[in-house]
Structure 1
Amino acid sequence: MRIYDLIKKKRDGGTHSEEELRFIIDAYVSGEIPDYQISAWLMAVYFQGMGKRETLDFTQALVVSGDQVNLSAIEGCKVDKHSTGGVGDKTSLIVGPIVAACGLKLAKMSGRGLGHTGGTLDKLEAIPGFSTELSEQRFIEQVQDIGIAIIGQTADLAPGDKKLYALRDVTATVDSIPLIAGSIMSKKLAAGSDIIVLDVKCGSGAFMKNVEDAVELAQTMVDIGEGAGRRTAALVTDMDRPLGQCIGNAIEVTEVIQVLKDEGPEDLRELCFALSAELLKLADPESGEDYHAPVREAVASGKALNCFAQMVEAQGGDPRITQDISILPQPKYSAELIAPQNGWISHMDTEACGIASSMLGAGRLKMDDQIQPSAGIRLHRRSGEQVKKGEALAVLYTDDETLLSAAKSKLESAYVFTEEKEESKALILARVYAKNNS
């Protein structure tokens, strides 16, 4: 088998066999195929696409390029939840404790933030003492004991994807739906859960800018999951405004605690409850019950908050944060963003909001940048809300006063005002299931 022939085959619109895809990935990971030839193959895939079976085989080739986590020692239903990345997206820290309180086992490997999107690990590491690095044995034991653990992804999980992604990033082949779907799902499949629920973001703060593309990506990923024997579903959700009122790390943890105390912003509550209900539905599809009822009960009873505190303590953090948020890192400096006029906020550039937060120190513009745990933004007014000239739209926080001015200007550019209220968009734009379960 020659890579030259496989490049030509895909260039001409052919379909690869499972054997051919395994050869391509294995030979690239081992160094037998140079970057320039894989770049040509990626561009051929970008233009010609992949069929449903081909995309599944491609994903499985990425999975077997590295280690796979064996969760068989954990009793019960093992679940995972993944978001394609957004601004203010702290849903994993809420959904995990909720479903654990409902009896499911959430074994999650997460990533760090880069650019305008925040990372789950960065939020957790804002909790004093919290460790996201556990041995596989301790990870499995913790999930078995308390129903939840969230750790960093190991380097040996889908190394083929890691190597391919770095090349896609510099060859203008990132935004290919089969390649995106394979990249995301290879890591989810390798992580070993029985059930996967996906939150596919759509809008100005997301990678997918329109609903049609987001639904296509969601369906492709659901088909991959189901094809690999995992019960999978997806929600396509709006990212034309930040999720919740807080953007950052420690500041987002405070909002997590709010929701787990049955408080907090309505949009964040709605999405977290919906994602939790989808996991419960996939775990017990025959019951036909109101899957939202146990979700609401887990929160109202305090069981979900207790699960969160147990996870924090088990991973070395201070569980007292659930009762005293002042234990979390506090910023040294703050500045208000003032409304320049009366009117309605018709739109927010969510990406600009995320960049402003990163400029304050809450995110990374480069992978080796250091995070300021206390930096971030609290939004007092968001899309669809009425404002009066002179009132505070937001408060910016940082430990470096020199960062405030530029970040404030960036955040100011995110707001668009109108004299009349415009129709608001739904938070959940689509629900995507396996084709025979739609």
Structure 2
Amino acid sequence: MLAQEIIRRKRDGHTLSRAEIDAFVRGLQDGSWSEGQSAAMAMAMLLKGMNSGETVGLTQAMTQSGQVMDWRSANLKGPILDKHSTGGVGDKVSLMLAPIVAACGGFVPMISGRGLGHTGGTLDKLDSIPGYISTPDPDRLRRTLQTAGCAIIGQTAELAPADRRLYAIRDVTATVESVSLITASILSKKLAAGLQGLLMDVKVGNGAFAATPEFAQELAQSLVTVAQGANLPTRALITDMNQMLGDSCGNALEVQEAVDFLSGKRQEPRLLALTQALCAELLLIGQLATSAGQALAMVNTALDSGAALTQFARMVSALGGPVDFVEKSRDSLPKAPVQQAILAPCAGWISGMRTRDIGLLVVDLGGGRHKASDSIDARVGFSEFAQVGQAVRQGDVLAMVHAADAATADQAQQTLMTLIEIGEAPPTDLPPLITRLS
């Protein structure tokens, strides 16, 4: 099939056949489609749209473009499960969810990404742990799952390589915002991981990729429909990202918050509620629990007993990190040389925050990337962040900035003061979980 004829058919609004979609994906994989042709196809798909059948076909073809994990030889005695978030500010739920689900009998080979733009990347967070191997070889990955029940890793060259090339093209051709292409990109990697159940956490709000409820609903429904069309049991939760999740943002700071969360030392209420809800939902998908009440009780037992913390420690050790990391995390994680309190200028209630801009401020501190080749300073970010609805007095700490130098800290302090709203009355409470799709 000629590439230009397939492009023309989609450009003119026709539905692509599976053979045409397969030809496009083969072209991505073997390089027989040029950058220009691939970009033209991505733009045609964005502008003309794709129905669910086309999106299922694209997802399956990209899944099959590389290795598909087969866990039968690993003799894992439980379902293979995963959760994927569309990203936000301070979203470190994956760091707790994987070991919690593992402690409850599931196995979680979580393929995560790096941060770009205002959202932090789970792999960047884990890179702050000395020695952690985020792209293990298959044998190490299998051993990690057998011993820890979870492994949070990056996409290898063998998993969905066609998706990797297509995403790079979309990133520089203004075609990222296609719901069908987003769906196929996410699900092709998840299907390649050999999953038996998936939970999607679709964020919505001023700190999310999906800024409106309508777009979040469309994306969540697409993910559920296409995943189920590809025979992967999937549910989606739409959750709030109109404020930072937890009380820290920044790579090493979020890892420390995750360790404190799993050890019971510090569990910010919204972060706890969302983590409980996501973990319980995943246990139901994996048939590890038969009711919501039972699932929640299992999650709480995994936390309260220390079992989830043990699984996290085993994962870190199995993937090359320190054996005693959870006991000595504060000594192991890098620390910023400047730590400075940001104080409330007046009394009142935290009534809102410009969450996306807070994420971009972490990038400006050095904790994220302006472009993919940028290096990251894992030390920087914010901790002790005040939450929406919290009452403050003049002089109370709104946040602690962690910076590489005093000048950067001062600039971050001045900027952050413009991103947090302090009102005269408590705001209306917005729960972290908005709706559920299955």
TM-score (norm 1): 0.94
1:338–1:393 Cα contact (<8 Å) kept: yes
CA distance in 2, matches of 1:33, 1:308: 43
CA distance in 2, matches of 1:413, 1:166: 34
Q: CA 1:319–1:211 in structure 2 vs 1: closer, same or farther (change >3 Å)?
A: farther
Q: CA deviation at 1:377?
A: 0.4
Question: What corresponds to 2:358 in structure 1?
Answer: 353
SS at match of 1:322: coil
Q: How does 1:291-306 map to 2 (within 5 A)?
A: 291-306=295-310
CA distance in 2, matches of 1:284, 1:125: 33
Question: What corresponds to 1:284 in structure 2?
Answer: 287
Q: CA deviation at 1:166?
A: 1.9
Question: What corresponds to 2:414 in structure 1?
Answer: 409
Q: CA deviation at 1:286?
A: 7.8
Q: CA deviation at 1:115?
A: 2.2
CA distance in 1, matches of 2:329, 2:25: 47
1:356–1:408 Cα contact (<8 Å) kept: no
2:367–2:377 Cα contact (<8 Å) kept: yes
Q: CA deviation at 1:418?
A: 2.2
CA distance in 1, matches of 2:415, 2:169: 30
Question: What corresponds to 2:5 in structure 1?
Answer: 5
Question: What corresponds to 1:48 in structure 2?
Answer: 48
CA distance in 2, matches of 1:350, 1:58: 33
Q: CA 1:423–1:312 in structure 2 vs 1: closer, same or farther (change >3 Å)?
A: same
Q: CA deviation at 1:185?
A: 0.9
CA distance in 1, matches of 2:168, 2:344: 41
CA distance in 2, matches of 1:54, 1:143: 34
SS at match of 2:378: coil
Q: CA 1:232–1:116 in structure 2 vs 1: closer, same or farther (change >3 Å)?
A: same
Q: Give the root-mean-square deviation of aligned CA atoms.
A: 1.8
**Structure 1 counterpart of 2:244, from 242, 251, 276:** 242
TM-score (norm 2): 0.94
Which deviations, in whole Å up to 9, do the C-alpha atoms of 1:285-325 show, x marking residues without a partner?
78336211101111111111111111122222224342344
Question: What corresponds to 1:203 in structure 2?
Answer: 205
SS at match of 2:92: coil
1:125–1:132 Cα contact (<8 Å) kept: yes
Q: How does 1:137-216 map to 2 (within 5 A)?
A: 137-216=139-218
Q: CA deviation at 1:56?
A: 0.4
CA distance in 2, matches of 1:126, 1:89: 16
Question: What corresponds to 2:321 in structure 1?
Answer: 317
**Paired residue type of 2:421:** V
Which deviations, in whole Å up to 9, do the C-alpha atoms of 1:329-376 show, x marking residues without a partner?
222111222222222222111111111222222222222222222211
Equivalenced residue count is 433
Q: CA 1:221–1:390 in structure 2 vs 1: closer, same or farther (change >3 Å)?
A: same
Q: What 5-or-longer segments of structure 2 have no aligned partner?
A: none
**Paired residue type of 1:51:** N
1:215–1:430 Cα contact (<8 Å) kept: no
Which deviations, in whole Å up to 9, do the C-alpha atoms of 1:361-410 show, x marking residues without a partner?
22222222222222110143122222222222111002333321332233
Which deviations, in whole Å up to 9, do the C-alpha atoms of 1:88-147 show, x marking residues without a partner?
111111001101111111112222222221111121121223222311111012202221
2:401–2:409 Cα contact (<8 Å) kept: yes
Once the two structures are overlaid, the 10-residue window that deviates more, 135-144 or 239-248, is 135-144
CA distance in 2, matches of 1:340, 1:266: 25
CA distance in 2, matches of 1:32, 1:326: 50
Once the two structures are overlaid, the 10-residue window that deviates more, 25-34 or 199-208, is 25-34
Question: What corresponds to 1:31 in structure 2?
Answer: 31
**Paired residue type of 2:4:** Y
**Paired residue type of 2:415:** K
2:349–2:389 Cα contact (<8 Å) kept: yes
Q: Does structure 1 residue 275 correspond to structure 2 residue 278?
A: yes
Q: Does structure 1 residue 266 correspond to structure 2 residue 274?
A: no
Which deviations, in whole Å up to 9, do the C-alpha atoms of 1:20-75 show, x marking residues without a partner?
10111212332322233333322222122111111100111211222222222232
Once the two structures are overlaid, the 10-residue window that deviates more, 299-308 or 119-128, is 119-128
Question: What corresponds to 1:381 in structure 2?
Answer: 386
Q: Does structure 1 residue 418 correspond to structure 2 residue 423?
A: yes
Q: Percent identity?
A: 42
Question: What corresponds to 1:436 in structure 2?
Answer: none
**Structure 2 counterpart of 1:220, from 199, 222, 236:** 222
Once the two structures are overlaid, the 10-residue window that deviates more, 32-41 or 291-300, is 32-41
CA distance in 2, matches of 1:5, 1:373: 47
1:63–1:186 Cα contact (<8 Å) kept: yes
